[in-house]
Structure 1
Amino acid sequence: MMRQSHGVGESPLSTPSRQLADFVANFRFEDLPEHARERTRAIFLDAIGCALAGHEGDETGQIEPVATALGGPGNSTVIGGASLSLVGATLLNGYLITAVTACDVHRATLCHIAPEVVPPALAIAEQRDRSGRDLLRALALGFEVTTRLGLGMHYSAFRARGWHSPGVIGPFGGAGAPPLRSCSSMPSDSCWRSAWRAANPLARSRPSVITAVLALVQRQDLRPEQVARVKVGLSEAVYKMHGEIGWEGKFRALLSTRYVVAVVLADGQCWLDQFTPERIADPALDAFARDRVIVQVDPAVKGTGAVVEITDREGSNYVERRSVPRGDSADPLSRAEVEAKFRLAARGRLTETTIDQVIDRTIHLEEVARVSELTQLLRAPTGVLV
């Protein structure tokens, strides 16, 4: 990915690969700026929440037997589950974090960084009985390695050839995290600071629509029965992917702009409850999506932005434009919002007391003496199945 020809007599010590390896090997916790520590803790808590919600993923039941077969039983924690072998838990946790598409995205490289970095770092830290401080450093390093590699390649050409960045650059971040030993300094402007945490379980091309609809609903106190029409403007690229897709089943509903607009307007929120078979089949919701939601290309909308115009039955128009969704690095979730998302994701998988304890230990991760204190909390209570 990072091209460098070696001339006669050129030392391999100067190659980008060696420089990156030295950076990882020599990195100290003290080199990690406070803003990077805070960002790492937030991404980590969000990843745990996404993994807990991931047990509701449609394919989770198929991945779990594969993870079990890889290494059999073991003592490594499955987030929201029991325990598996080191490799099995790492695989399953990686899938769980991204199973309902609610995890982070590094915008510049369209790469999820948590699913590849958090599972191996957590598993190794637990196995080696390391501290929360060690884990925090490992996570930050993994995020940094992943995004540095992504920014160092010609991403537009990479994407144009059909490559998917998480599977290509993510493993390097995963490998960069687990050394967990006393390890040049983290830049004051870390590469992964532009990673954003999704507020909703949707891929990154529709959250701007959700953000806009929610803003109008909350500002104008709108209900479906008051609405005559909703017009949604998307960029041409996003329209081609999601403008007119139907909503037959959960997977397509998550991709459908029409359905997403209708259900968010009706329910005033967007989480997994809005994509159950019963909700998707609701006749009133179906009729609203078909008859009152118009999706079109808006030349003024760029990238994954959106413009939403709601016309009520009295003829009044309300417009909201979003260049980025809530959760983007340009409009980040607050700590309170990240915690609220975590509570929603953990609902039904962990007890309320345990949820409070996980939040507290994650916020104060560098003060946790042993990572196993946290992972024990993350295992599902007896009787809760993966």
Structure 2
Amino acid sequence: MSKTQTIDDRYSRTIAQFVADLRYEAIPQEVRERMKLLLLDAFGCGLYGAALDWSRSLQRACGSVDDTRKCTIWGTSQKLSAPSAALINGTQVQGFELDDANHRGVVHLGAATLSPLVALAESRGGMSGRDLIVAAVAGYEIGSRVGICMTPDHIGQGWHPAGTVGIFAAACGSARAIGLDASRTQWALGHAGSQASGLMAAQYGAMIKRVHAGHAAECGMMGALFAEEGLTGIVNVFESEYGGFLTTYSRSNDRFRIEELCAGLGTHWETMNVSLKFYACVFSGHTALDAIREIQQERPFGPADVERIVVHGSKVTMDHVGWKYRPEGMTSAQLNLPFCIATLLLEGDVFVDQFTPESIHDAQRIALADRVKVIEDAAITARGARYRHMVRVEVFFKDGGRLERTVEVSRGSEKRFAPAADIVAKYEKLVRHVLPTRQMDALREAVLDLERLDDAVRLGPLLARGRGALDAA
């Protein structure tokens, strides 16, 4: 990149410099501790996701053309190349609507950020636990800011931010992990913008929705590796008026806030604003589920007591999860709020055990979902992106009674972040399906003590399934 360039690349350059310069000591301790919990949660989601149909499809597809045996496919005995591992493991993390997200940025971060880092640790070596923490923070900080810059209108336009925005988290985390300087990190950003993809129409039933974050993980990592070898990228990927990421991926070419890209960079830590899930469904439905539970605490009730339920939310919530349920696959079930409310009322929870292949065609759930309506509340929409998950839920009872609750943020969100014990419990609830107890405990301890891990390659065997996996660690 020429030092005499006249193009405007100030935001891209500032981001690249931040990523290249980020050091462990510059990250506040509370951010480092939060990151370890986020990583533990992502590992739990990824391990659980190993046996899902779409994950198995990817494992077979990549295994049929990839004979490299270096990087662990989490929760399996399979090893493949770093790109395949980043793709598959990223997909597994996002594979069952369990993974983290920055609500303002409307983007899942762990799926795109973590899988490339582990793949790089296994394939290249030389990465300590501290290095992994720093690289992960770089990915989370920039991925969050790109999402915030794009505003919820980005997903409203039909893009899936897990893919389109998550790729920047993957690129920045990978660039930091392999030690790129600022110039090459800027190229990696340009590669990420060129490869960004993901369409929200997949939410209605297509398995490919699960792959968007994994694709971002793979392409973001490869973008950093391309840059390392001198392949130049778009240096003004955010600023370019024609063909830049912001103008191209924004409705009407102007619905973005470019100043958010670098706002508070290095002093305000968006990692602290990442939320965790305690329901196995899309985040846009969590506040409504919390509201139903609160109403049940005031008046215990079940499906037979309900005449109808009305959820008042933002336009984004209505568009994203408020459509009439159609049994077109597991994806449509987990991304449909009426179906999830029906599941809660019938099953008492909305977690992994409640979503089975049979459940998506359950006539009782579908009939109950038809009694749930999601409508836009213009006043909530007007409050902006920070309140896009806010809902007012009305339950109308058959005896003529009515109760309502307003919930602004869900349990596990940045404003109601869960205690460490709850996060560990979720991890164990997921991983016990996959790993023996001793290995599950060893992985948990390694992640929660990550700064003391001398070589992050040790994580690979702890994530593998099969005899000897723990001994190999």
TM-score normalised by structure 1 residue count? 0.84
- The aligned amino acid for 2:330 is K
Q: 1:351 aligns with which of 393, 416, 436?
A: 436
- The aligned amino acid for 2:118 is L
Moved more, 87-96 or 326-335: 326-335
SS in 1 for 2:101: strand
Partner of residue 136, structure 2: 139
Partner of residue 30, structure 1: 25
Partner of residue 292, structure 2: 213
Q: 2:275 aligns with which of 192, 196, 204?
A: 196
- The aligned amino acid for 2:461 is Q
After superposition, the Cα gap between the structure-2 partners of 1:86 and 1:242, relative to the gap in structure 1 and judged at 3 Å, is closer
Partner of residue 239, structure 1: 318
Q: 2:57 aligns with which of 62, 74, 86?
A: 62
After superposition, the Cα gap between the structure-2 partners of 1:53 and 1:217, relative to the gap in structure 1 and judged at 3 Å, is farther
Cα offset for 1:366?
Answer: 0.7
SS in 2 for 1:108: coil
After superposition, the Cα gap between the structure-2 partners of 1:18 and 1:226, relative to the gap in structure 1 and judged at 3 Å, is closer
Cα offset for 1:158?
Answer: 5.4
> What is the total number of aligned residue pairs between the two structures?
376
Cα offset for 1:262?
Answer: 1.5
5+ residue gaps, structure 2? 183-263, 382-387
After superposition, the Cα gap between the structure-2 partners of 1:276 and 1:158, relative to the gap in structure 1 and judged at 3 Å, is closer
Partner of residue 71, structure 2: 76
After superposition, the Cα gap between the structure-2 partners of 1:148 and 1:281, relative to the gap in structure 1 and judged at 3 Å, is closer
Cα offset for 1:315?
Answer: 4.8
Q: 1:334 aligns with which of 384, 398, 419?
A: 419
Cα offset for 1:35?
Answer: 1.2
Q: 1:379 aligns with which of 431, 443, 464?
A: 464
- The aligned amino acid for 1:146 is G
Residues 151-230 of structure 1: pairs in structure 2 closer than 5 A: 151=148, 153=149, 155=151, 162-178=158-174, 179-180=176-177, 187-218=266-297, 220-230=299-309
Residue 216 of structure 1 contacts residue 320 of structure 1 at CA under 8 Å; is this kept in 2? yes
After superposition, the Cα gap between the structure-2 partners of 1:254 and 1:157, relative to the gap in structure 1 and judged at 3 Å, is closer
Cα shift readout 1:217-269 (whole Å, capped 9, x = no counterpart): 35544333454543333334433443342241423222332221121122221
After superposition, the Cα gap between the structure-2 partners of 1:234 and 1:165, relative to the gap in structure 1 and judged at 3 Å, is closer
5+ residue gaps, structure 1? 1-5
Residues 261-300 of structure 1: pairs in structure 2 closer than 5 A: 261-290=341-370, 292-300=371-379
Partners of 1:229 and 1:157 lie apart in 2 by 30
Cα shift readout 1:301-349 (whole Å, capped 9, x = no counterpart): 4422222233556554432211222222122222122112212221321
- The aligned amino acid for 1:45 is L
- The aligned amino acid for 2:32 is R
Moved more, 88-97 or 72-81: 72-81
- The CA RMSD measured in Å over matched residues stands at 3.3
Cα offset for 1:53?
Answer: 2.4
Q: 2:191 aligned with 1:112, yes or no?
A: no
Moved more, 239-248 or 261-270: 239-248
Partner of residue 123, structure 1: 119
Cα offset for 1:137?
Answer: 1.5
- The aligned amino acid for 2:286 is P
- The aligned amino acid for 2:443 is V
TM-score normalised by structure 2 residue count? 0.70
